[in-house]
Amino acid sequence: MLAYALTAFFCAATPLFQLSPEALDAYLKGQKGTFEERLADVAHRSVGTPYAESPLGEGPKGEYDKDPLMDTTRVDCVTFCEQTIAVAASKDYKSAHALLQSIRYRGGKVNFETRNHFMIADWMANNTWCRDVSGELGVETKALTRTISRRDFFKRVKAPRLGQEIPDEEKTIHYVPAAQASAAVAKLKTPALIVFIGKQPEWLFELHTGLYLPDAQGQGRLYHASSKAGKVVEVESLGEYVESQSGRFLGFTAYQIGNPR
């Protein structure tokens, strides 16, 4: 018992990306609080996690992507959000690993074709415990329609045999314009998942994503894996961040996060 307590204490004082799966398991078994409190704690302890492009795949048996199914030592913007949610909603490493697969893959079926590649058209559609609140933030949203072609996507990623029978999908979203970001964020409740809508390319909506969570004083903060910074960072003002990126972003959509369990 003493050894376990010491391990839990060490885990609590150590960034999560420095923990082994066994140490992360001990951290999770010692976690208390609500889902939102756990989510905020996991995100805060993930600050500094090294950035890596597309670090997760279907494991060593994967046909197209042999990267690991879970890796908390490095993340990109999407895998940071996915793993943070899965870890926060779980009581041990094994259950976090299993939940992550149900988040990343349609129906929890692990293969490259069923992965939720498109954050809005796939990920949001299949993770219904996230609710779009973009139109509830007191500002006028703008509509944007784009054509999602999974056939073209799989050709781009050198998997041309996949998705060729899936028809193209014309999809319309409503986003908060970048110029109205601060006004909208003033009414945004935590916890939320933020999808930043890109000006380019025109074959998808999302350019970046992050989590809007409370800090120790209850103030909302943006946590995201930044390729520019090369790590997970905490941003004090989500509104100012969006406005500063107006050259890249049209604006953002916001989704209230429910407990996926």
Please report the pLDDT score of residue 12 as a whole number. 53
Tokens of 62: 């994967």
Tens digit of pLDDT for each residue in 97-118? Answer: 999 999 999 999 999 999 999 9
Hey, what CATH topology would domain 2-257 get?
A: Putative xylanase fold (1.10.3670)
Look at residues 99, 61, 106, 53 and name the one whose alpha carbon lies nearest to residue 79: 53
Please report the pLDDT score of residue 226 as a whole number. 98
Q: Where are the domains of the chain?
A: 2-257
Please report the pLDDT score of residue 216 as a whole number. 84
Question: What angle (nearest 5°) sits at the alpha carbon of residue 210, between those of residues 134 and 32?
Answer: 100
- DSSP for 91-129 reads SSHHHHHHHHHHHHBGGG--SGGGB--SIIIIIIHH-TT
Report the C-alpha gap between 48 and 162 in whole angstroms: 36
Report the C-alpha gap between 162 and 171 in whole angstroms: 21
Give just the sign of the alpha carbon dihedral 237, 240, 242, 247.
negative
**How confident is the model over 182-193, as a mean pLDDT?**
98
**How confident is the model over 107-134, as a mean pLDDT?**
98
CB atoms near residue 116 (< 10 Å): 19
**How confident is the model over 51-69, as a mean pLDDT?**
97
208-225 burial by CB neighbour count: b if 16+ within 10 A, else e?
Answer: bbbbbbbeeeeebbbbbb
230-256 burial by CB neighbour count: b if 16+ within 10 A, else e?
Answer: ebbbebebbbebbbebeeebbbbbbbb
Please report the pLDDT score of residue 8 as a whole number. 44
**How confident is the model over 27-47, as a mean pLDDT?**
95
pLDDT of 3 > 50? The answer is no
Please report the pLDDT score of residue 207 as a whole number. 97
Report the C-alpha gap between 63 and 231 in whole angstroms: 29
